[in-house]
Amino acid sequence: MLSLNYHKSESDTMPEEIDTVSSPTTVYLRKNIRAEERQDVETETTRTVYVYDEATIPRDEYNAYLTGKTQANIEYLYMMGGFDYE
């Protein structure tokens, strides 16, 4: 089973929930994304910051997870349709 350790993170740009393009070796998983307004103390301007929980997973583990999840979904659909999968 996939075990994920989430940590707090933030960005000036709206992040993707699942980022598979930023790194050739790592997939970033994000949840609880919300926008917060922040006041810059020097310039007194307001800017939007995106705050979220983020976990990282090696790309090969993520691909294996997706393969297993897809297989489980296929078996479930066969079962719900009354078909024998094997």
Residue 86 lies in a domain: no
Residue 28 lies in a domain: yes
pLDDT at 80 > cutoff 70: yes
Residue 20 lies in a domain: yes
Counting the structural domains of the chain, the total is 1
Listing DSSP states for the chain in one string gives ------EEEEESSPPPSEE-SS-SSEEEEEEEEEEEEEE-TTT--EEEEEEEEEEEEEHHHHHHHHHHHHHHHHHHHHHHTT----
Q: Containing domain of residue 74, as a range?
A: 7-80
Residue 2 lies in a domain: no
* Average pLDDT, integer, range 63-84: 73
73 or 3, which is more confident: 3
pLDDT at 65: 81
